[in-house]
Amino acid sequence: MQINGKSVFNGIAIGRLFVYNKAENQIKRKKVTDVRKEIERFQNAREESKKQLSELYHKALKEVGEVNAAIFEVHQMMLDDLDYEESITNMITAQEVNAEFAVASTGDNFSEMFAAMDDDYMRARAADVKDISNRIITVLQGENHSIIQSEEPVILLADDLAPSETVQLDKSKIISFVTRHGSTNSHTAILARTMNIPALIGVDFPEDADGKMGIVDGQEGVLIIDPQVSVMEEYTAKKEKEDEEKRLLLELKGKENITLDGKKINLYANIGGVGDVADVLANDAGGIGLFRSEFLYLESEDYPTEEEQFKAYRTVAENMAGKKVIIRTLDIGADKKVDYFHLDKEENPAMGYRAIRICLDSKEIFKTQLRALYRASYYGTISIMFPMIISVGEVKRIKEIIREVKTELDEAGVPYKDVELGIMIETPAAVMISNELAKEVDFFSIGTNDLTQYTLAIDRQNPKLDRIYDAHHPALLKMLQMVIENGHKEGCWVGICGELGADITMTEIFLKMGLDELSVSPSMILQVRRKIRECRIEG
């Protein structure tokens, strides 16, 4: 039997299926005579719950990082919410009912209230308030908040899993989880991705699956129950290949990007959307060197709102748990068409109306993105990068608009951080004035794809010119060296985010040039790291 679902994290798991049924707390309404004693029972259970959550926070902190562990701090704060507490104590006092019933009723009421709200973030709190209420009830009933266990490693099937249950999973016993409910943006999903557990949601599995053999294909979003021999053999081969790749990861994960003679370099990943962050984490990138924000526009039927953009940027920043996230502002035009921008057809779009040229003309669209970026900066380590720069005047104009955005945020009382500002070096003009541009920004990121086509006057979209398109052309390499030297003279760090950065035949040359950072596709991180660690720069 094959059942489709939605992937939360890629990977293949093969093992016995275990259907986890939550032990529902059976709550009966009871009349109490000593109201004060019942309130004291509630207060003690609440303190014990906070203690448990503190322990869970520190466990999650070690396993999945500060940002992803923060949910347990949120739960602790929710336990201190006066409205929540007063609702419970008032119910105990006014109705003379037992603490368990008052907690369960209040949990249901608050959960329904949150679920009815328009804001996605607030709707997500509905599950949280149910979780903390169940925790208190469990303590009141004198039961342990059980950690999911099994005698052998299993694929866990559940109706849903609360964040507290997910973080308590014994990863030596759980090889995957599959749930009927949940969302790809839930705390549980984030934790699953950072814990590297293949996971599916939205899978309507049968209860009698318990004890049967199963396969989870996180790539295809499929659960297979009682697979045929041929299917099992096929997936066993895939799993062996995946395990071999993981062994490579285990060998290099946590190791520095450092040459044999001690030169270090930052190794970051390029991504096109929020969903790519899992690959960044799985491949142990030091950060994100290029978030192509235009994909938010390309995937939308209309201009993405400030709130939509903010949520995407914030999610990436939070998931990266303090690691650097460099977000490139809107870069449409050329080969990236967006119908609702109503751009005119151009004879030579690669050299036409695109990227920062559109943004500076469409100030409100630009400001909307900048506001979203600065708002999201509060939740992580964001840097902002501007594409297709050809003049110092453009950079100064950008900085004027940023000052306007900051003023608006200050007046609205919206928190943000001052962030690093950088530019893409992808035109010969930017290369030639890189000494002046370096005085205006904190970093350069060289876009070798466009820089190569503009330097060689070769349209990189034209297959007839592939034979003479040379990313190793001496002119290009001289340009790279010039940009690195000019940047460093003004205290500006320099990286590459174009395809050339992943060319391991060039890694040693880049290191000798003095490059500070390489940003490549997540799948290339380990190969480039291995190459860096094999290089010797001096001598």
Assign 3-class secondary structure to 22-49: CCCCCCCCCECCCHHHHHHHHHHHHHHH
Mean pLDDT within 7-34 = 81
Separation of alpha carbons 303 and 294, rounded Å: 11
pLDDT band of residue 188 (cuts 50, 70, 90) is low
Strands 222-225 and 154-158: unpaired
DSSP state of 452: H
DSSP state of 148: P
Residue 350's Cβ-count burial label (10 Å; 0-12, 13-18, 19+) is middle
- Give per-residue pLDDT as tens, 412-438: 999 999 999 999 999 999 999 999 999
Domain with residues 255-421+497-534, CATH architecture: Alpha-Beta Barrel (3.20)
- Of residues 116 and 461, the one with the higher pLDDT is 116
Structure-token match 């599950």, residue found = 127
Residue 124 carries which side chain, given as an amino acid letter? A
Give the residues across from 207 on adjacent strands: none
Strands 154-158 and 12-20: parallel
Separation of alpha carbons 124 and 308, rounded Å: 16
pLDDT band of residue 310 (cuts 50, 70, 90) is very high
Separation of alpha carbons 485 and 522, rounded Å: 28
- pLDDT score for 43: 93
Residue ranges for the binding site for Mg(2+)?
Answer: 426, 450
Contacts of 210 by beta carbon, 8 Å cutoff, 6+ apart: 17, 18, 19, 157
- Give per-residue pLDDT as tens, 497-533: 988 898 999 999 999 999 999 999 887 898 899 999 9
Residue ranges of E strands in 162-229: 174-179, 199-201, 213-217, 222-225
CATH superfamily of 35-140: PtsI, HPr-binding domain (1.10.274.10)
- pLDDT score for 110: 87
Is the pLDDT at 191 greater than 60? The verdict is no
pTM: 0.59
- Of residues 306 and 333, the one with the higher pLDDT is 306
- pLDDT score for 145: 47
Structure token digits, residue 188: 């549980």
Q: Which of 374, 373, 335, 372 is nearest to 355 (CA)?
A: 335
Contacts of 118 by beta carbon, 8 Å cutoff, 6+ apart: none
- pLDDT score for 476: 95
Is the pLDDT at 24 greater than 70? The verdict is no
Give me the percent of the chain exceeding a pLDDT of 70.
85
Q: H/E element holding 199?
A: strand 199-201
Mean pLDDT within 386-401 = 96
pLDDT band of residue 135 (cuts 50, 70, 90) is confident
DSSP string over 314-335: HHHHHHTTTSEEEEE----BTT
- For all residues of the chain together, what is the average pLDDT? 86
Separation of alpha carbons 445 and 434, rounded Å: 12
- pLDDT score for 63: 57
- Of residues 171 and 97, the one with the higher pLDDT is 97
The answer to whether 446 touches 497, Cβ cutoff 8 Å, is: yes
- pLDDT score for 158: 86
- Give per-residue pLDDT as tens, 434-478: 999 999 999 999 999 889 989 998 876 676 777 788 889 999 999
* 52-56, 100-104, 158-162, 293-297: range with lowest mean pLDDT: 158-162
Class at the top of the CATH hierarchy for domain 2-20+147-244: alpha beta
DSSP state of 352: S
- pLDDT score for 176: 87
- Of residues 177 and 411, the one with the higher pLDDT is 411
The answer to whether 353 touches 343, Cβ cutoff 8 Å, is: yes
- Of residues 305 and 458, the one with the higher pLDDT is 305
Residue 347 carries which side chain, given as an amino acid letter? E
C-alpha distance across the termini of the chain, in Å: 62
Residue ranges for the binding site?
Answer: 292, 328, 426, 449-450, 460
pLDDT band of residue 102 (cuts 50, 70, 90) is very high
Angle at the Cα of 211 (from 207 to 214), degrees rounded to 5? 90
Per-position b or e across 39-74, b if 16+ CB within 10 A of its CB: bebbeebbebbbebbeebbeebbeebbebbbbbbbb
- pLDDT score for 338: 64
DSSP state of 303: P
Residue spans of the domains in the chain: they are 2-20+147-244, 35-140, 255-421+497-534
Count of beta carbons in the 10 Å neighbourhood of residue 266: 17
Q: Which residues are catalytic?
A: 187, 497
- Give per-residue pLDDT as tens, 43-93: 999 999 999 888 877 776 665 556 567 777 888 888 988 889 999 999 999
Contacts of 104 by beta carbon, 8 Å cutoff, 6+ apart: 25, 27, 133, 137
Count of beta carbons in the 10 Å neighbourhood of residue 472: 12
Mean pLDDT within 281-309 = 86
Is the pLDDT at 488 greater than 90? The verdict is yes
Q: H/E element holding 167?
A: helix 163-167
pLDDT band of residue 242 (cuts 50, 70, 90) is confident
- Give the SS3 label for residue 494: strand
Q: H/E element holding 18?
A: strand 12-20
- pLDDT score for 182: 72
pLDDT band of residue 112 (cuts 50, 70, 90) is confident
Residue ranges for the binding site for phosphoenolpyruvate?
Answer: 292, 328, 449-450, 460
